[in-house]
Amino acid sequence: MKRRRALQLRERYPFAAPVMTFYVALLDSPGDVVAAVDEAGPAYLREAVRRPDPPEPVARFLERATWPGGEHECVPLLSFRAAPDEPLVAGRRRLMCAWCKRTWAFSASACPVCGEKTTSYADRDVFAHMTIEACRPCSRYLIEVDLGRDRQAVPEVDELAALPLDLYAAEQGLTKITPNLMGV
């Protein structure tokens, strides 16, 4: 499911092709992140993973890419809305943990960091099913994937393709609550 969705997004969004190709390599090389990096990773990452003491962003990537589970505090990676049972009703909002992918219900318009009301930003011409859920008081944001708008979406894969939304959020002075696997 994740692999198929990554290949679909690679074709749909040419700007996301390098990220999706790398993600597919990670999926195809379970347990061997270095092989996936050698196959499809960017040059700086290929060099950095071989260092005895990789830079902090690379160490975080390796930790996330090889995370075996265990004790951790769940932190939200993204928000998603489940496909609703009724056509004119919005789906319930859920958050997904950056580490274990566990999901939990969360208020439809509250910031997971400070609890204040969030504002949605969207570019429906590019992403009909994704928005930025931004909190102005704490300057944090999440990408939200709406499964009611695209029932084939796989939240943790689609979020990787949302780079234009991430760039827009950065231009607005917002910081992602938790960077995704690719560090964005």
Looking at residue 63, its pLDDT comes to 87
Query: Of 65, 84, 106, which residue constitutes the final position of a domain?
Result: 65
Does 17 lie in the same domain as 83? no
Does 7 lie in the same domain as 56? yes
Q: Look at the chain and report how many structural domains it folds into.
A: 2
What percent of the chain is modeled with pLDDT above 70?
Answer: 95
* pTM over 0.85, yes/no: yes
Cβ(136)–Cβ(113) under 8 Å?
A: no
| Confidence tier at 161 by pLDDT (50, 70, 90) | very high
Whether 43 is covered by a domain: the verdict is: yes
Domain carrying residue 31: 2-65
Residue type, 172: Q
Does 92 lie in the same domain as 162? yes
Does 168 lie in the same domain as 88? yes
H/E segment holding residue 45: helix 43-48
Hey, what's the torsion of the CAs at 93, 96, 97, 99, to 10 degrees? 180
Q: How far apart are CA 164 and CA 182, in angstroms?
A: 14
Distance of CA 39 to the CA centre of its chain: 22
